[in-house]
């Protein structure tokens, strides 16, 4: 399922009212990032986009999860690169999500599981994930 990238900003940030942003507009910003684990999409995408924009992202805080990263954005620690699907589920009035411009490629989200897994939690998660995929496909 394709998902687009957005930048989470504190509602007090000068760019919070923008309709779209280019990555170059964020060159002087401080970032809150997720940990750069093997296969982690968002920290890698931040690094690559910044490099393509001619700068190195100034990561001032690494958060263990998205909820913590967004709490740090709300506290004006920095901005955070995340997904539009995340933004659609956040209710913090102090965090604003601004899409990146059209030249920024989408992120393809994928899910994998073992067909013979009988864990009841798996079936609940799959129902939710497949619901997102159905909604995204119209």
Q: The domain 2-108: what is its CATH number?
A: 3.40.190.10
Tell me the two tokens of residue 72: 């740090």
Kind and range of the H or E run holding 72: helix 66-74
- How does pLDDT run across 53-110, given as a tens digit for each residue? 999 999 999 999 999 999 999 999 999 999 998 998 899 999 999 999 987 778 887 7
Number of other CB atoms surrounding residue 9 within 10 Å: 26
Measure the CA–CA gap between 40 and 24, rounded to whole angstroms: 22
pLDDT at res. 125 = 85
Spatial strand order of the sheet with 5-10 comes to: 80-83, 5-10, 95-99
Of 7-11, 34-38, 130-134, which gets the smallest average pLDDT? 130-134
């Amino acid at each position: 399922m394709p998902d687009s990238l957005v930048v989470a900003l504190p509602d007090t940030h000068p760019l919070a009212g923008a309709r779209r942003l280019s990555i170059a507009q964020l060159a002087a910003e401080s970032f809150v990032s997720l940990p750069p684990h093997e296969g982690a999409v968002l920290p890698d995408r931040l690094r690559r986009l910044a490099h393509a924009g001619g700068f190195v992202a100034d990561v001032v805080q690494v958060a263990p999860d998205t909820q913590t990263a967004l709490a740090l954005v709300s506290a004006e620690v920095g901005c955070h690169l995340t997904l539009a699907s995340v933004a659609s589920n956040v209710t913090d009035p102090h965090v604003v999500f601004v899409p990146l411009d059209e030249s920024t490629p989408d992120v393809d989200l994928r899910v994998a599981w073992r067909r013979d897994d009988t864990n009841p939690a798996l079936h609940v998660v799959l129902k939710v994930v497949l619901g997102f995929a159905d909604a995204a496909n119209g």
